[in-house]
Structure 1
Amino acid sequence: MSPPPPLALREELREKRFSTIWKRDLHDIFVDVAPYYDRANFVASLGLWNWFRSSFMATIPVAPDLRVLDVCAGTNAVGIALLKREPNLKVHAIDRSEAMQTVGRQRAEALGLHIDSTICDVHTIPFPDNYFDRVTLQYATRHLRVEEIFKEIRRVLKPGGSFHHCDMLRPGSPTVEKLYYGYLRSCLAITGLLFRSGTAAMNAKKYFIDALEMFYSADELSEVLRRQGFCDVSAKTLLAGMIGFHRAVKPQP
């Protein structure tokens, strides 16, 4: 386990190392895992998945008629949870994976909930400036060009609107980091066998660890948000920094 590259070089080196996987392999990985994604995460987290989600949801204030954009919405877990709290939200999901969004639409419809959906590359968000009151992004940033997507999110947020981010992070402690990666290697193998993952997902086990090793700690991600022009940046971590929630606001003019 080597230390991560300096913050100023992190994005350049992440893209250099992972761009081929991001462009070529992620589509097939998420086609593979879409049918069992939520169940696999519940097992891999030792049953803590719902706690992670409810803790994140508690950081997002909602009110009737707010426009919410859920970036990399996957199976619509965030949108569904928000609509259960406030049915009069206007929720739009974007994701590059049609397979994941198909599962997400089915889940929402089964609950009588409506979430608009767009399939696209999330690095170019197909909405005008200053459009959304809230933007959320959960468990996907490790697979994205971080500075680029944060810049787009800031663009589509209304002044005073808030961005709410959740992801697995690189723990600040080297000891915790070593134990964390050891556990992930084991659980990725076990869940892959348990859910009969296909070749694409099984071949991605090393990538998932490598992506975390080159990702950000909670403090580093806060700094990236500030560099992209957000204000009032705050962070909360769970499990010694393994999971992190960030809130950031688009400044008023």
Structure 2
Amino acid sequence: MQNQSPDANRMAPPLAPHATLPDYYKNETEHRAFLTRIFDETAPDYERIEHVLALGSGRWYRRKALQRAGLAAGMQVLDVGIGTGMVATEALGLIGPSGKLVGVDPSPGMMGQVHLPGVELVQGMAESLPRPDASCDFLSMGYALRHIGDVSAAFAEFHRVLRPGGRLVILEITRPRTALGMSVLKGYMRGVVPVVARLAGRAHGSAELWRYYWDTIEACIPPDAVLTALREAGFQDVRQHLELGIFSEYTASKAQ
């Protein structure tokens, strides 16, 4: 297994996905501790609440997004931030029995909810992936970009672990471009979602997690910054596909 190279470390300065959110943490050490706690606590409820809320990221959408990004039968997939396995479930259906999927996540609680035959689970972070160089054909990350510490370091790692010609897709919720859209989504995420989480969730912290989701969406770096960071990491054919004005699919490939 090889670690990120010194050249990759120098490729780009640290880029946080959003500013510090003092209502939840005050520095990066507290940030990591907060995320570990909140995701471990809410793991048993996560999929059930997501299914109730839908929020456009249901099974049909995830499958279509993976297809648009070029996932196909027989590919070796690395799913970064696998969580409870919702993106991985759709990926397995596309790669079939000849493919293989490895899931990486920092939360043991989340990975404990993954029940997918043949999937290898590895605890780790996007900024320092515990995988060898050029070890996968396709890399996915579903709605986890806002929770990492350094976007530039993560993208350098994504480039390192992909084989030449490999592709990636990053699914994320993006701030609406209009004031009306912002108002509607904020009302939904700050008002409706925590109430549903409180009613549907059994685990302590579920409502807090979904409030945090909105705050990270509102504070997240814009799509142009994500696209620029992908290019600076060495990716080509970098694109953003937007669905319903808020669901971003960032795709890119590694040169042959």
Under a length normalisation based on structure 1, what TM-score does the superposition of the two structures give? 0.83
> Which is further off, 32-41 or 137-146?
32-41
Distance in structure 2 (CA, Å) of the matches to 1:84 and 1:245: 19
Aligned to 2:105: 95
Matches within 5 A, 1:56-95: 56-85=65-94, 86-95=96-105
Over the aligned positions, Cα root-mean-square deviation in angstroms equals 2.5
Distance 1:249 1:13 in 2: 21
The AA in structure 2 aligned to 1:90 is K
Point out where structure 1 has 5 or more consecutive residues left out of the alignment.
1-7
Q: Whose RCO is larger (CA < 8 A, sep 6+)? A: 2
Report the CA distance shift for 1:192/1:51 in structure 2 as closer, same or farther (over 3 A): same
For this pair of structures, how many residues does the alignment match? 238
Q: CA deviation at 1:134?
A: 0.6
Instruction: Check conservation: 1:170, 1:216, Cα contact below 8 A.
Output: no
* 1:76-128 Cα shifts (integer Å, max 9, x gaps): 22222222222211111110111111111x2x1xxxx3101101233210122
The question of whether the paired residues in 2 share the 8 Å contact of 1:30 and 1:100 is answered with: yes
- Between the aligned partners of 1:237 and 1:73, the Cα distance in structure 2 is 22
Which residue of the partner structure matches residue 4 of structure 1? Answer: none
* Equivalent residues in 2 for 1:125-136, closer than 5 Å: 125-136=129-140
The partner residue of 1:114 within 118, 135, 139 is 118
| Alpha-carbon separation, structure 2, partners of 1:95 and 1:13 | 17
Instruction: Give the letter aligned to residue 92 of structure 1.
Output: V
Tell me, in whole angstroms, the C-alpha distance in 2 between the residues paired with 1:60 and 1:13.
22
| 1:25 aligned partner | 34
Structure 1 Cα separation of the partners of residues 40 and 66 of structure 2: 26
Report the equivalent of 2:250. 246
- Check conservation: 1:169, 1:216, Cα contact below 8 A: no
Is residue 214 of structure 1 aligned with residue 224 of structure 2?
no
With 20-29 and 137-146 compared, the bigger mean Cα shift is at 20-29
Identity of aligned residues (%): 27
Residues 232 and 188 of structure 1, relative CA distance in 2, 3 Å threshold: same
Q: Is the 8 A contact 2:239 2:251 kept in 1?
A: yes
TM-score, reference length from structure 2: 0.82
2:48 is paired with a residue whose SS is helix
Instruction: Tell me what 2:63 maps to.
Output: 54
Pairwise CA distance, 1:154: 0.9
**5+ residue gaps, structure 2:** 1-11
* Cα distance in 2 between the residues matched to 1:10 and 1:119: 22
